[in-house]
Structure 1
Amino acid sequence: MKFTLSFTALTTVAAFAPSAFTPKNAGVPASTSSLNMALKDGQTPVVIGVAADSGCGKSTFMRRLTSIFGGDVVGPLGGGFGNGGWETNTLVSDLTTVICLDDYHSNDRNGRKVSGLTALNPLENNFDLMFEQIKALKDGKTISKPIYNHVNGTLDTPETIEPTPIIIFEGLHPMHDERVRDLLDFTLYLDISDEVKLNWKIQRDMEERGHSLESIMASIEARKPDFDAYIDPQKKDSDVIIEVLPTNLDKEDKKTLNVRCIQKDGVVDFSPCYLFDQGSTIEWTPAPTKLSAPAPGLKMAYRSEQYFGRDCQVVEMDGSFDNLQELVYVESALSNTKTKFYGELTQAMLALADAPGSNNGTGLMQTLAAFAIRDIYEKKTAAAKKVKQETTTSA
């Protein structure tokens, strides 16, 4: 491998997509974007896989990533229910297409009730179609992709997806199937600890939606066996893992987070970010006069580690900060961030100041990962352009 109530009839992906590919105007919903996202002649899309459990921050990371590449965000593709009366999970911006792997569920919600399996189980996902369509997009072909409707749990009429320079597949299983995994140019896993996941669900479902603690615990326990068996193992195959843990600064604190960005060495077109001196072991408490932080404070660290037998470099942030503009002080201590100018990291964080995690390590590490993906795209695009020029010259 290189560097997410009512029902109709029981349906399958195959029923909606007997052929994986269709002509551009085959009578299925298509993008309403006016942006010029077409591939240049001979250009191969850079394909990224992002894995995480439901409710673990994939959508926020997608916002950060598409923002880094610039341009207007268009989508959901086709406009959703407010524009034409149909649902989609696909998002596009100037250069990117983000595809939700829930669209490759084999059954609708009612079908899973019949099978008795959760959506985390590989048997409830069509990996043959997933592989076929990812390969087609990487080959520059247009596909007719199924739509899993999260509103009513049905499999809806497929939509036409055209390849763009960057294609991101996010969801439960981007690295589960070896054939799919081998097509990915870079992979990232959002690893939320059980304790943090419980705290987040209590805050969202109990405090905001009125669910009982018992129902929340039952929901987590019902998913846990399949999560442990089929989702969690993908982190060993990921190039970067963003690990979200409870703070070490105050054991009674249930909201402050300790976030680690685990970056594997030896990944093609990727070099890890580091704090102060590469290869050092560092623990750093930023000066409170330059970076104000609420209790229990803020600490950063950097070290080399082994992760599933691979050499890695880890940047860590424990705590949160009061003033997002002061993040530029931390930016000055980080190296190899893949930014194009000093302050771009802070600027990118400020652009999404309202997004979850923008005052702690989740936002920081996701933004660093987004810059790394931009850098990979630019390196691969430049290399492909050079090969094309050399081929043209020799011909």
Structure 2
Amino acid sequence: CSSSSFLMHASQVSSLGASVARPPPLPKCVSVCVKARATRELGFDHAALKSSLSLPSAFSQFLGKATKHTLITMKLSMSLAAFVGSATAFAPTAFMPANTLRSAAPASSSSLNMALKEGQVPIVIGVAADSGCGKSTFMRRLTSIFGGDVVGPLGGGFDNGGWETNTLVSDLTTVICLDDYHLNDREGRKVTQRTALDTAENNFDLMFEQVKALKSGETVSKPIYNHVNGTLDTPETIEATPIIIFEGLHPMHDERVRELMDFTLYLDISDDVKLNWKIQRDMEERGHSLESILASIEARKPDFDAYIAPQKEFADLTIEVLPTALDPEDKKTLRVRCIQREGVTDFSPCYLFDEGSAITWAPPASKLSADAPGLTMSYGPEDFFGRPVQVLEMDGTFNNLQELVYVESQLSNTSTKFYGEMTQAMLKLADAPGSNNGTGLMQTLAAFAIRELYEKKAMAAKAKAAEAAATA
């Protein structure tokens, strides 16, 4: 869990658009898909709808998923200003450095941009993965979709009286690295001869107490594991926010902690892919030898298999990254599976074409271009650790990120606000690892699912509070 890596990624985040009233142009296929959906599903002419609502053409592109009832209601009761305000509420700006916000959209009244209110219960998300498995990239996608004002690292880092910290905050989100709950510092682990993956090297009693306290809206004094020098530093004060994310090695190991999680994810990278990634990062970028990389992987593997991998059984959503099945000689192309558990409260699995069917699909190259060995998608029900799941898969690499809107048009239960939002979110982070394959796609879908889960729980809490006030 590297805060410096996270900050490096976060510093590159830029706004989705300076103004929602002037959205970035979308590919021609967006308009084509929207018109087809409007004609096929809603039974009216898209051009007539656009004219009757008097909306700019860019906004009419995003109406493909609305119901006929919704569009009629918009026509009768929603002004263009209100429409613009609603769209602005979901322009992602979280964790952007302040100097990049030259033309940021004005503050929104959306429930997504608010501090923790009295009586509000935060939602708690757990993200499990080994180091170097994409947690920082996923956090970048997640926080950019939620939006919110920038705060950045708690304490501001070393400058201006700050301190070394792994905690990142915005007005909506707090991201806590579970390395902070290491029982011993680096020198202490040399004495015990245990790795940080070993559960005996982690303080689960304190972790449970503080997760419980934060979920109750309380403030805690959390330890800091300093990744620079391997020491346990002076604790820092953490205040509860509407969304609290615990990411690291063991978010689902302790049953007490697991029961407090509202949603859990596991990022599962196969051994072959992990080796290729480590060779690229440690050998090509850091100058390590192949022998040292292999030795490091082998040294960690027993503890990983014993203490980290078993958590996959408890995840609500697992993203598996595997070598491609299209060409056994290809070591770079990835096959990515999004394993979605059924029956999770406030979560509906995304599906391709027809829910519950078993489908394999090769998108035509004219609509989604891909180099050899090509690209396929699949979807269907499976059994995962004795539980029913729905699995969405992408195998291959696509060439043009804008063309992903064609895939988006075939997906349902994406938890997006408007047609094209998934593609826009991917385009916004086009420089992030995995943005041309299934890793970026599945991470983005998971981020939208978490946003929808938060909104549903926030709405339920608000209704409960209103009911309590009415009966008081």
Query: Do these two structures clear the TM 0.5 threshold for a shared fold by scoring above it?
Result: yes
How far is 1:72 from its partner?
3.9
Given residue 370 of structure 2, which amino acid in structure 1 is its aligned partner? A
* Structure 1 position 390, deviation (Å): 1.0
- Distance, in Å, in 2 between the alignment partners of 1:101 and 1:37 is 25
In structure 1, how many angstroms separate the alpha carbons of the residues matched to 2:160 and 2:432? 25
CA-to-aligned-CA distance 1:134-174 (integer Å, 9 cap, x gap): 00000110111111111111111111110000000000000
- Check whether the contact 1:66–1:73 (CA below 8 A) recurs between aligned residues: no
1:188 equivalent to 2:265? Answer yes
- Is 1:296 equivalent to 2:373 in the alignment? yes
Distance 2:466 2:322 in 1: 48
Aligned to 1:229: 306
The equivalent residue for 1:179 is 256
How many correspondences in the alignment?
364
Distance in 2 (CA, whole Å) between partners of 1:80 and 1:153 is 17
Cα shift at 1:255:
1.0
- Residue identity in the other structure for 2:208: F
Q: When you count helix as a share of all residues, which structure comes out higher?
A: 2
Residue segments in structure 1 that go unaligned for 5+ positions in a row: 5-32
The one of 376, 390, 394 equivalent to 1:317 is: 394
Q: CA deviation at 1:83?
A: 4.3
- How far residue 76 of structure 1 moved from its aligned partner, in angstroms, is 1.8
Single out whichever of 82-91 and 337-346 deviates more from structure 2: 82-91
What code does the residue aligned with 2:354 have? Answer: D
> 2:336 aligned with 1:259, yes or no?
yes
**One-letter code of the match for 2:242?**
P
Contact kept in structure 2, 1:76 and 1:89, CA below 8 Å: yes
Aligned partner of residue 297 in structure 1, secondary structure = strand
Matches within 5 A, 1:344-355: 344-355=421-432
Asked if 2 retains the 8 angstrom alpha-carbon contact of 1:260 and 1:316, the reply is yes
Which of 1 and 2 has higher RCO (CA within 8 Å, sep 6+)? 1
Q: TM-score scaled to structure 1, two decimals? A: 0.90
1:1-395 equivalences in 2 (<5 Å)? 4=1, 38-84=115-161, 86-395=163-472
When the two chains are superposed, the root-mean-square deviation of aligned CA atoms in Å is 1.4
Percent identity, please: 80
Q: 2:390 is paired with a residue of what secondary structure?
A: strand
Give the match's secondary structure for 1:75: strand
> Residues 105 and 119 of structure 1 are in contact (CA less than 8 Å); yes or no, is this contact kept in structure 2?
yes
- 5+ long unaligned stretches in structure 2: 2-96, 99-106, 108-112
Higher CA-based Rg: 2
Q: Which amino acid in structure 1 is aligned with residue 292 of structure 2?
A: S
User: How far is the alpha carbon of 1:113 from its aligned partner?
Assistant: 0.7
CA distance in 2, matches of 1:335, 1:160: 41
Matches of 2:452 and 2:152 in 1, distance apart? 25
CA distance in 1, matches of 2:372, 2:182: 44
**SS of the residue 1:320 aligns to:** strand
- CA gap of 1:306–1:105, structure 2 versus 1, over 3 A, is same
Could you report, residue by residue, the CA deviation over 1:277-309 in whole angstroms, capped at 9, with x for unpaired residues? 101111111111111112211110001000000
Per-residue CA deviation, residues 201-243 of structure 1 (Å, 9 max, x unaligned), is: 0111111111111111110011111100010000000000000
Q: TM-score, with normalisation over the residues of structure 2?
A: 0.76
Q: 2:155·2:162 contact (CA, 8 Å) conserved in 1?
A: no
Structure 1 residue 393 displacement after superposition: 1.0
Partners of 2:265 and 2:254 lie apart in 1 by 15
